[in-house]
Amino acid sequence: MKRYRPHIFVMIALAIVLAGGWHNSLRHALADFRFGWQPRQASGDIVVIAIDASSIDRIGVWPWPRLLYSELIRQLQKADVQDIALDVDFSTPSDASSDRNFAEALQSAGGSVVLPSFQQPRTDRTTLHVNRPLQQFAEHSWPALVNVEVGSDGLVRRYPFGEKLDGKFVPAMAAVLAGQYDEKRTPFLIDFSIRTAGIPKVSFAEVLRGDPATLQKLQGKKVIIGGTALELGDRFSVPNGVIVSGPVLQTLAAESLLQNRALQWTSPVVTLTGLALLALLMLFSWRRLSAGKRVALLAATAVVVEASAFALQAAFPLIPDTSLFHIAIIVYIAAIALDEIDIRDLLGRVAESRFQRVAMSLGDGLICTDSNYLITVWNPGATAIFGYLPEEMIGQPFDEICARDADTPAFSVKNAAELAAGTVIEFEGRRSNGEVFPVEASFSGWQGTDGFQFGAILRDISVRKREAERIRYLAEHDTLTGLINRNTLHAKLEAKIARAEADGRRVALLVVGIDGFQQVNDMLGHASGDLVLRAISERLMAVMPATGLVARLSGDEFAIAVPTIAIGQNVSRFAEQIGAGFDEPLLAGTRHLRVRVSIGAAVFPSDGRTAAELLSNSHMALSRAKATRRGGHVLFEDSIRRELETRLTLEAELALAAERNEFELFYQPQLHLADGRLVGAEALIRWRHPERGLVSPGEFMPVVNTSPISERIAEWVLETACTKAAAWERAGQKLRIGVNLSPSQLQSGDLASSVAQALARTGLSPTSLELEVTEDILLHDEQSALNTFLKIQALGVRLVFDDFGTGFASLSYLKKFPLDGLKIDRSFVLGLLANPDDAAIVSSTIGLSKQLGLSVIAEGIEDRATADFLVSMGCGEGQGYFFGRPMPASEFEARFLAAPAAAEVA
């Protein structure tokens, strides 16, 4: 029995190791060691597009809008990449427009995009929730599982080919990229000999801006997009002390498959065979060789076994499990040493030495105490954190490093000693210079030879705390003015509303808009604009009660939320006070600028019961203030919302009417007053509503002229009028056709080109087209209007000033602009016979026009006497109900083109 005792000792030790699973750490360490000494290069076929720190700095605070991913996919399509894998969560909706744009980008990619699915614990921590891409995204992409298994040692080693989610197999992302997913295949071990440094990486921001060199690197590659920045937290620990990001880990798994390195452990049969051979070797040599020679033989055997394992792991997708073999060798050596040395004393010295080495090399602070909480170990990390030398602290109570405050009781190690081992605690520490700072500590306890002892690993987390506070501040405030932003205002306004509702009080929300702020930026530059915004924020803060809030909503809009009790319950007077605060010029740098503001206000609870409703209604009131009384204020009323809803309904109906061709042109004749000869017609738009019949232009044209469809309708009017006039011209009836211009046509900057194209398409003679402009069109940009008019006149088209006499600057416009004629407004013509003032104005206008070489046409002629009187004044042309109301083209042709116009008038 004594002869077999070492071998029985080895078997018992191996059984204990197997039962406890302790050999796993060794076999992992050996495999990791081989990885470190067998480097492999990545194939380069998979590129990581990194959401790195520089991309976040350029683009903005995370998370990003999905429009960025849409643009990225389009850039990748330009680069002709093979497959696109996004390691980003798309399981929750954002705003509808961004989601729709992203779905369109996925569809345009033609199914080459892989989106992640993953499981995560629900709030009850007992069940799992499956996060999948939204259905609208899933329809145009491949699903892929991105969950990875973290081992008991906290490292990721194994990777699945896929997993069943809700009964349906979902392949893993790396398997999809490698094209090797199979429901029946078991998970494999990632080959960490593939060096992460060799994996190609490019920055998200460089791809997004379409950098040609970056896109060239991606041509023909497969790409994985995901977060690599530290602040995103998508990090995994892998063998050999390496920490990699999620997309890099997915790339390593895909590279393992592509390089046929889906590793598996060798069979237990191989291990048992090796152990049997080792046992036979020891049985044969135990009594034949000395202790030293047996140790040498065991060491040589270990070297041979490990060298063989190196070769096998390098040549085949296998990881030889030599852990039990090495453990057996170590136990055999221990058995040999039992009779040679005092193993217990040796182990104690080794353990003590190892502990000292570990303790002294830790970057974190390590402090150990005895059962009385007196410090026994103080490593260099603790010195770096607290500033005390070991000789100053050994033998001192642990609580000496804890901050003491008269109001707050100091943290005590006795409190931590009562908690479970490994519990992480934060407390206020004090450095040797007296500085108080936050400390994170992990405490543990154990039974030592001298009694129960305690240990703590400590970190200085003051930098982390400051960074967290900075990130929170940036998320809640406007970086330019320092005011709270829209999101923070919304949250704080909801809190104020809740308190006001409980107290039965009111809360006012005022939205302040800067009038003409764009002009400041255009004339002085954005730097001066920023100074103006800062000065405005300071002025708003100056009038704000202590219980109020000031926020910056957007570029030139601010908001003030204040309980009405703090402003004497009079919101209107408070708004006036704010406006009066801008009577004095603002100091922006070295400039003094005068700024006016318009204000819209809404009050809880009468004008809204939530923050969102108050913001919406205040904005509507501000829009009314800007439209009707710039520099003033408007309090929200229900009529404002009703008017907006009516306008929105009418805009929708107008857009539908344009699609259904419900618009048509009526024509009002224009005649030569002296002989009644037809000289032209004015084209006037009409809307034939399917239910309401013919709708008056006065009802819908003001909406058309300020809506997005204005330019579309104006181009239709021009094209239709030119087409009809060209048809009459080809039939031998050459008439001058008058078309009213809309503001949108002039603001587009392409009016002259549109006119030229319309003439070319329809074949109408340029001299037969007359464009009528009004003063409100000219107010926007006089120089641009002048340039456009010169181009139009160069085409041979006439320009006529419509509604002359009603504007404050009409005479100045006759001097500034190259006009061919003017139309006297009907308001003067209707009272011509009865009102001497009207007669004087009309007579002066006719005389002025003749001196300037302009033609004159009078509008609103309703009887023969008025027509004759105009002839006597020298007016050449006229139009009005006396000659004919606006009428459809067919009626106009029947009345005026089938027979001489003079006969009709007579």
Contact 857, 878 (CB under 8 A): yes
pLDDT (0 to 100) of residue 769: 94
Mean of the pLDDT values across residues 299-316? 89
**Rg for the chain (alpha carbons), in Å?**
43
> What residues form DSSP beta bridges with 442?
424, 457
Between CA 486 and CA 554 the distance in angstroms is 8
Q: Where are the beta strands (DSSP E) in 33-111?
A: 46-51, 84-86
pLDDT (0 to 100) of residue 880: 93
Query: 């199914």: which residue's tokens?
Result: 111
Mean of the pLDDT values across residues 152-158? 87
Write out pLDDT tens, residues 625-635.
887 767 788 88
Confidence of residue 187 (pLDDT cuts 50, 70, 90): very high
Give me the chain's average pLDDT, please: 84
- What DSSP letter does each residue of 711-748 carry, written as one string? HHHHHHHHHHHHHHHHHHHHTT---EEEEE--HHHHHT
Between CA 38 and CA 603 the distance in angstroms is 72
Write out pLDDT tens, residues 842-864.
898 898 888 888 999 999 999 99
For the ranges 266-275, 639-648, 745-754, the lowest mean pLDDT is seen at 639-648
> What residues form DSSP beta bridges with 587?
592
Structural tokens at position 857 = 């046409």
Q: Which of the pair, 163 or 7, is modelled with greater confidence?
A: 163
Write out pLDDT tens, residues 740-784.
888 777 776 688 888 999 999 999 999 999 999 886 666 556 777
Q: What is the dihedral of CA 619, 625, 631, 633, to 10 degrees?
A: -80
What type of residue is 120? Q
pLDDT (0 to 100) of residue 626: 81
Between CA 441 and CA 515 the distance in angstroms is 56
Structural tokens at position 503 = 């107290």
Query: 């003032």: which residue's tokens?
Result: 837
Write out pLDDT tens, residues 55-68.
888 888 778 888 88
Between CA 9 and CA 11 the distance in angstroms is 6
For the ranges 420-434, 491-505, 508-522, the lowest mean pLDDT is seen at 420-434
Entry pTM: 0.43
- Residues present in the chain in total: 906
Query: 């919406």: which residue's tokens?
Result: 616
pLDDT (0 to 100) of residue 656: 83
pLDDT (0 to 100) of residue 409: 57
Contact 829, 859 (CB under 8 A): yes
- The CA–CA distances, whole Å, from 16 to 4, 264, 269, 457 equal 18, 25, 19, 31
Residues 6+ apart with CB under 8 A from 475: 61, 487
pLDDT (0 to 100) of residue 416: 64
Strand pairing report for 557-563 and 507-514: antiparallel
Q: Which of the pair, 171 or 642, is modelled with greater confidence?
A: 171
Is pLDDT of 74 > 60?
Answer: yes
Structural tokens at position 771 = 């464009």
Is pLDDT of 561 > 70?
Answer: yes
Mean of the pLDDT values across residues 576-586? 84
> What residues form DSSP beta bridges with 225?
49, 86
Is pLDDT of 642 > 80?
Answer: no
Mean of the pLDDT values across residues 658-686? 91
- The CA–CA distances, whole Å, from 164 to 85, 117, 161, 262, 902 equal 20, 11, 11, 21, 89
Is pLDDT of 352 > 70?
Answer: no
Between CA 509 and CA 364 the distance in angstroms is 51
What type of residue is 712? R
Is pLDDT of 903 > 50?
Answer: no
Write out pLDDT tens, residues 393-431.
888 888 888 887 655 556 666 666 555 555 778 888 888
Between CA 224 and CA 113 the distance in angstroms is 10
Mean of the pLDDT values across residues 363-388? 85
Between CA 91 and CA 120 the distance in angstroms is 12
For the ranges 120-124, 183-187, 318-322, the lowest mean pLDDT is seen at 120-124
> What residues form DSSP beta bridges with 453?
446
Structural tokens at position 460 = 């200085």
Write out pLDDT tens, residues 701-755.
777 766 777 788 888 899 999 999 999 999 999 999 999 888 777 776 688 888 9
pLDDT (0 to 100) of residue 678: 94
Q: What's the start-to-end Cα distance of the chain, in Å? A: 144
> Which of 459, 400, 454, 451 lies closest to 430, judged by CA?
400
Between CA 239 and CA 27 the distance in angstroms is 12
For the ranges 33-47, 513-527, 592-606, the lowest mean pLDDT is seen at 513-527
Contact 777, 743 (CB under 8 A): yes
Q: What are phi and psi of 239, to 5 degrees?
A: -55, 160
Contact 667, 681 (CB under 8 A): yes
pLDDT (0 to 100) of residue 639: 75
Between CA 665 and CA 727 the distance in angstroms is 15
Contact 822, 788 (CB under 8 A): no
- The CA–CA distances, whole Å, from 88 to 91, 112, 165, 181 equal 9, 16, 19, 21
Between CA 351 and CA 707 the distance in angstroms is 82
